[in-house]
Amino acid sequence: MMNMMKKLAFIFILVFVQLAFSQKEYRQLSRRPGPFSSRGKKVAPVLVRVYPVAVDSQNFRIYLLCEVVYDFLQFTRQGDNFVARVQFEATLISKKSKDIYSAIWSDKISLKKFEDTNSRDKFFLSLDSLFLPSGKYDLTFQYHDLQGEQRQEYLLKLRLKRPGAFYSSPPVFCDLSTKAVSPVPYFPCRPLAAREFVPFNTPIGVLLNIWAPGEKTVRVNVKLLKHDQKQPLYSMDTLLQVQPSSAGACIKPPFPKWDEGDYQLRIVYHTATDSVKQALPVHIIWFNKPRSLFSLEYALQPLQLVLSKEQFRSIKSGDAKTRKQAFRNYWRKQDPTPETALNEVMLEFYTRVDSADFRWGNKGERGWRTDPGRIYLLYGQPDRIVDDSLDPVHPHMVWIYNHPDKRLVFTFEALNGRTRYRLIEEHEESY
């Protein structure tokens, strides 16, 4: 009995250790609260994508696409630039033959502005490629920041189905505003390592590729739909010319017109004898969205500074769905570019809210509710600041705004050792 208990205890410990130290499934997206719902997405700092392109009836050229968010990189000052150096390693093991294929490469990025090094909405792209036969593979991907201690390791599964008479690569997104990556000229524009999401307010192309040696032309239909709607927002048909055995195209849906949210991309290839369907979810994500927009209730509050009491009372009435629609309706009327999803006026307003909260907020009060925060929210950054906060007799600060026909002057009294400021005077001066 004692021996049996020892064996059971050993098995339990072994299973516990395996679970504790097993690698989590690699995910490019994870959920987080907001914006306005629980369907918000958090993006991994290192994105890995394997993009297979059939080169004959049995083999592939796979492109290893890797993106790292700037804020995750360790930059050092070198001359006038800020430089980061990284190393990538991909090891693939065939499940059938146990053959090993690997690629190791180093890369670097150089930036001019220090503030860009902390960006969370910009990614550094690096890529390499390998020649592989069809089959199933276990892929281990390793990332190493050569100037810091950041290391990441991911385990992925790769299945390369034998191309045969027809093979369609999964679609890959490209940033149309950026040129192709050198020295691999396959991509007509900058490819994204993201499999299922694209950045908000960015011109994005969808790169299609097929292997069809027995076809002269292949008709393809592309549709993009909202996740909860049946009517497509975008639909197009085009004809791919196969030369000599493959064909490709870069489809350009109007992504900047669409708001952040969940969508679905559907692709159908029609050959002479059959049709092949592809479908994948697409999330449009606003990476640098102001934090004050992640909560509807909080986003509504600063509007009391620009609305009448009656208007503010109206926009805050009703249930959550009604308030959300009223919020959208208000900002839609202020949008200078209604043909795009980005509302520049709303972006500026809530960027100011974030800045006011960061600079003037404290534990008991939001920054935009303070006197300096309120003025900053209404007028923006002053054209001139006269800071006499350390004056022992009359500690104060003056903000000056220069308008075409007048000058606005706001004077704040410094309190509690410059931790708080109170508006004590405001006036206009004519030129």
CA distances (Å), 258 to each of 263, 303, 337, in order?
Answer: 10, 25, 13
pLDDT digits (tens, 9 = 90+) for 264-309: 999 999 999 999 999 999 999 998 899 999 999 999 999 999 999 9
Q: Is residue 123 part of a domain?
A: yes
Q: Is residue 90 part of a domain?
A: yes
Number of domains in the chain: 3
CA distance 115 to 99: 45
**pLDDT at residue 67 tops 70:** yes
Kindly state whether residues 353 and 403 are assigned to the same domain.
yes
CA distance 287 to 85: 24
Kindly state whether residues 296 and 416 are assigned to the same domain.
yes
Mean pLDDT of the chain: 89
Residue at a domain's end among 289, 312, 336: 289
Kindly state whether residues 301 and 426 are assigned to the same domain.
yes
Kindly state whether residues 404 and 348 are assigned to the same domain.
yes
State the amino acid at position 74 in one-letter form. Q
Q: Is residue 75 part of a domain?
A: yes
Kindly state whether residues 298 and 411 are assigned to the same domain.
yes
The domain that holds 117 is classified in CATH as 2.60.40.10
**pLDDT at residue 22 tops 70:** no
pTM of the model: 0.83
Q: Is residue 17 part of a domain?
A: no
Percent of the chain clearing pLDDT 70 (strictly above): 90
Residue at a domain's end among 236, 255, 289: 289
pLDDT digits (tens, 9 = 90+) for 184-219: 557 888 999 999 999 999 999 999 999 999 999 999
Q: What HEC string does 67-95 produce?
A: EEEHHHCCCEEECCEEEEEEEEEEEEEEC
CA distances (Å), 2 to each of 8, 15, 16, 125, 399, in order?
Answer: 10, 20, 21, 58, 81
| Cβ–Cβ under 8 Å, residues 380 and 372 | no
Percent of the chain clearing pLDDT 90 (strictly above): 79
**Could you please report the per-residue DSSP string of 179-205?**
EPPSS-TT-SEEE-S-SSEEETT--EE
122-131, 185-194, 256-265, 322-331: lowest mean pLDDT where?
Answer: 185-194
CA distance 47 to 67: 5
Enclosing H/E stretch for 8: helix 2-21
Residue at a domain's end among 133, 162, 191: 162
Kindly state whether residues 308 and 352 are assigned to the same domain.
yes
Q: Is residue 11 part of a domain?
A: no
Kindly state whether residues 156 and 96 are assigned to the same domain.
yes
Question: Residue 222 region, left (φ>0) first, then alpha (ψ -120 to 50), else beta?
Answer: beta
**Could you please report the per-residue DSSP string of 286-338?**
-TT--GGGS-HHHHHGGGGGTS-HHHHHHHT-S-HHHHHHHHHHHHHHH-S-T
Q: What is the DSSP code (8-state) at residue 365?
A: B
Kindly state whether residues 267 and 209 are assigned to the same domain.
yes
Q: Is residue 8 part of a domain?
A: no
Reduced to 3 states (helix: H, G, I; strand: E, B; else coil), residue 235 is strand
Q: Is residue 7 part of a domain?
A: no
Range of the domain at 303: 292-430
Kindly state whether residues 239 and 313 are assigned to the same domain.
no
The angle, 0 to 180 degrees and rounded to 10, between the axes of the packed helices 344-360 and 371-379 is: 160
Kindly state whether residues 307 and 282 are assigned to the same domain.
no
Q: Is residue 244 part of a domain?
A: yes
Kindly state whether residues 322 and 345 are assigned to the same domain.
yes
Reduced to 3 states (helix: H, G, I; strand: E, B; else coil), residue 355 is helix
Kindly state whether residues 155 and 174 are assigned to the same domain.
no
